[in-house]
Amino acid sequence: MVARWSVAAALVWAVVLVGRCSAADPFAYYNFDVSYKTASPLGVEQQVIAINKQFPGPLINVTTNWNVVINVLNSLDEPLLITWDGIQHRKNCWQDGVLGTNCPIPAGWNWTYQFQVKDQIGSFFYFPSLGLQRAAGGYGGITVNNRVVIAVPFGEPDGDITLFIGDWYNKNHTALRKALDDGKDLGMPDGVLMNGKGPYRYNTTLVPAGIDYETINVEPGKTYRFRVHNVGISTSLNLRIQNHNLLLVETEGTYTMQQNYTNLDIHVGQSYSFLVTMDQNASSDYYIVASARFVNESLWTRVTGVAILHYSNSKGKASGPLPDGPNDFYDKTWSMNQAQSIRTNVSSGAARPNPQGSFRYGSINVTQVYVLRNKPPVVIDGKRRTTLNGISYSPPATPLRLADEYDKKGIYTLDFPTRPLDGPPRIAASVINGTYKGFMEIIFQNNDTIVQTYHMDGYAFFVVGMAYGEWTEDSRSQYNKWDGVSRCTTQVFPGAWTAVLVSLDNVGFWNVRAENLDTWYLGQEVYIKVVNPESSDKTESPIPDNALYCGVLQNLQKPQKPHGSSETSSSSILDVGSKLLTLILLLASIAIFA
């Protein structure tokens, strides 16, 4: 009797501990049914990728340190992985959703991601990471709010608006993929979408009738936080709102020095938050414009996104020409200067109350230097490919992290060159050997003629410098060692370099890639392997119970019963699910031991 009671008591205690843990760090649950949906954003019918029939997908709206559980059902006809751009997955690259860490979710299967948004705040987005699928949609926002006890360096806005901007083709992702496989260029996009919709008909010649456009409804006098993400394929966009200032406050998890911009260049994969005050007289609606950068305007007039800002007291429709953007086809200096004007507010806190400037990145000694040189596409073994340092990455059938877990050798090589190679370009699965707790300097040198953006998973890096010409050791004297912005995606102008510094404190395999989809698809990516030489459980999460197996480990995979899609819905139940489960377990254990 006594023994029985103590077992039950121990179980209750265990449940209390679990309960406490989830009370400190709540859970948010999502079901994502990823499927095709017919849409005609630019007036041409095509299959887009929707989540729970929504395009763009639902917002993941959570708070620092929350646990996020997302059950993804792949209702497409091809493999799927979703990556959570900018979420650092501390010690847990198993949830990163890229081919170096995860086997793809087969068509018809589901897979549940679970990760914690540990010590993060800010505006990010998720998207399907395989084979150009993002060109068909499948993206949505991730907002990580400050905990209530942590001060935000501006007053609470009256509303929060997520805005996706991105170039778009009327061809679907499989047709675009085929073009690239056939060695072709994607050519000029057919337009720019805003929240999955085509342009407002500001010009009857340029915009056909019957196109659905985005309207943002606002109240006069109020201030809104606009979280803007360039989710496009390869076009840098200039964002502006007619007659309104954009007060920049945050980028990819860093609170910036608050500054007004009349327009801002947003490159592929980048995210920004602006505060916009509705301080105009509403004599009409206002245009929200995203236009292509560094292109011949007379050829690209069609490729402009236009949405409508509608005050509740508006007296009429927007009309007349769009507000002008920068006109500097030949001169990218203005854009680079603008990029360098974006700086960290070192005195404000972020996920923690400590000032963002308390990590003195400028006084830490660099331990590893990599110069990654991007060249225009080349032909390797008869295929058109892109390279970094002469290497075009080809993802092995077995994810790198999984291969290590099962001690499978020969899947990849740990020999990525620290400097561009002189030899002929080659296709390989060559990985950067990162030193745990080291401080790495990466210089992206863009030898191509178009802007590229580079992203790093698992980390935020400090953008310390960018300039035209070739980077040399002397370039370090120009680095911003004090308030460079910490983010996960940086632009690199053509014929220029961008230098970043990153503290390698997160164990795992982390993807460094071109965010421009065609460049990425053709091989411009690499992984950085970071291992703790003193292996202990604390520095990395164990392989998840539901891990998928593929490649040389295919035989470990159990079959999955096909799913009906009816069971999934767009619900997000906070904490209730886990509490309920805990309660059921508790009742069950009491029943067993009574």
Ligand X SMILES: *[C@@H]1O[C@H](CO)[C@@H](O)[C@H](O)[C@H]1NC(C)=O
Contact footprint for ligand X (CB under 6 A): 36, 47, 59, 61, 71, 110-112, 145, 153, 160, 172, 174-175, 203, 205-206, 243, 245, 247, 257-258, 260, 277, 279, 281, 283, 296, 298-299, 301, 321, 329, 345, 347-348, 365, 414, 433, 435, 447, 449, 494-495, 546, 567
Q: Minimum distance between the CB of residue 472 and ligand X, rounded to whole angstroms?
A: 13
Q: Which residues contact 359 (CB under 8 A, 6 or more apart)?
A: 503
**Where are the alpha helices (H) located in 219-317, listed in sequence order?**
297-300
Q: Minimum distance between the CB of residue 21 and ligand X, rounded to whole angstroms?
A: 20
Cα–Cα distance measured from residue 18 to residue 15, given in angstroms and rounded to the nearest whole number: 5
Measured from the CB atom, the residue of 249 and 268 that comes closer to ligand X is 249
Q: Minimum distance between the CB of residue 13 and ligand X, rounded to whole angstroms?
A: 27
Measured from the CB atom, the residue of 17 and 206 that comes closer to ligand X is 206
Cα–Cα distance measured from residue 371 to residue 420, given in angstroms and rounded to the nearest whole number: 7
Nearest Cα to Cα of residue 383 among 520, 517, 522, 514 = 522
Nearest Cα to Cα of residue 462 among 477, 442, 445, 436 = 442
Q: Minimum distance between the CB of residue 253 and ligand X, rounded to whole angstroms?
A: 15
CA distances from 333 to 246, 357, 409, 484, 493 (A): 21, 28, 47, 18, 10
Measured from the CB atom, the residue of 12 and 567 that comes closer to ligand X is 567
Measured from the CB atom, the residue of 301 and 394 that comes closer to ligand X is 301
What does the DSSP 8-state code read for residue 235? Answer: -
CA distances from 79 to 39, 96, 107, 238, 277 (A): 22, 16, 5, 33, 43
Measured from the CB atom, the residue of 276 and 488 that comes closer to ligand X is 276
Strand 426-428 relative to strand 391-393, pairing: parallel
Measured from the CB atom, the residue of 11 and 378 that comes closer to ligand X is 378
- For residue 463, list its beta bridge partners: 500
Measured from the CB atom, the residue of 278 and 456 that comes closer to ligand X is 278
Q: Minimum distance between the CB of residue 460 and ligand X, rounded to whole angstroms?
A: 18
Q: Minimum distance between the CB of residue 1 and ligand X, rounded to whole angstroms?
A: 38
Q: Minimum distance between the CB of residue 249 and ligand X, rounded to whole angstroms?
A: 7
Please return the burial class of 426, using the count of CB atoms within 10 Å of its CB with bins 0-12, 13-18 and 19+. middle
Q: Minimum distance between the CB of residue 495 and ligand X, rounded to whole angstroms?
A: 4
Contact 290, 192 (CB under 8 A): yes
Please return the burial class of 298, using the count of CB atoms within 10 Å of its CB with bins 0-12, 13-18 and 19+. exposed
Measured from the CB atom, the residue of 472 and 594 that comes closer to ligand X is 472
Measured from the CB atom, the residue of 279 and 331 that comes closer to ligand X is 279
Per-position b or e across 156-195, b if 16+ CB within 10 A of its CB: ebeebbbbbbbbbbebbbeebbebbeeeeebebbbbbbbb
> Which uninterrupted H or E stretch holds 36?
strand 27-39
How many other C-beta atoms are found inside a 10 Å radius of the C-beta of residue 246?
Answer: 21
Q: Minimum distance between the CB of residue 531 and ligand X, rounded to whole angstroms?
A: 8
